Amino acid sequence: MRNRIPFPAASYVRHLARLERRGFHNPWAGGSDTDDVRRARLVDHLRCPCPNFLLITEFARDIDAGTTGIPLVSEYAALNGMVPSARRIRSPSSPHAKLDMLSSEIWRGLNMLEVADQVLCFSAIPLVPMDKPVRDESAYIELFKWVRAIHEWYPHMCSITIGLRTHQVAEAMGLHHKAITQPEPGAGLVEQLVNIVQASQAEARVVRSSGAMASR
């Protein structure tokens, strides 16, 4: 059953902006006009009126969260009209407005399936690692709780993890999800995404059909 109360996106982003952790920088912190724009874009994205899919990436990345403010949405994808929730972005604001294969492949697949307007993007760790890979296991567990919160807010959604480590942590935390464990463009990313989305749509049709029969 859908939660009729909108997800408190503005409150979540304010909370996110206060987050600090050693070894990371926070693309949603700061008091400049650019920082305000990034936060506003994430709020807009999280106010998706009909979210059916939750994409969970391992980290926020400078090429997307650090520019558009939305995980997995690069400026290139936004400027080329691939992302319905980012269509207010009209001109490049950074050198990152270039082709980013990961973001572009993901949104190409979602548009092909005609579900791009039903997708929310989250980071398991909503911060950008400053130099080397994160070795602190508690970083995953502590911050993945936020992913679980939105999953519980929209329990009908199909959650899709991107990357092996994100899948492993989601499994350890008991988060029901589907996994793309080879997220590199050219390694079957779009094919995996298409298969997962189509299977989820088929399952939803079966549930609706069963509910309709039960109500007769």
- Tens digit of pLDDT at every position of the chain (216 positions): 455 567 888 988 898 888 877 777 888 888 999 899 899 999 999 888 889 999 988 777 877 888 888 999 988 888 888 888 776 665 555 554 556 788 888 898 999 999 999 999 988 776 776 665 555 556 566 566 777 778 778 888 899 998 887 888 788 778 889 998 876 665 588 888 989 999 999 988 887 777 655 555
Residue 180, helix vs strand vs coil: strand
Q: How many CA atoms does the CB half-sphere of 38 hold within 13 Å?
A: 29
pLDDT of residue 1: 47
pLDDT of residue 105: 86
**Domain regions of the chain by residue span:** 9-214
DSSP per-residue letters across 9-61? HHHHHHHHHT---TTEE-TT-SSSHHHHHHHHHHHHHHT-SS--EEEEEEE--
Q: How many CA atoms does the CB half-sphere of 119 hold within 13 Å?
A: 29
| Domain 9-214: assigned CATH number | 3.40.470.10
pLDDT of residue 211: 61
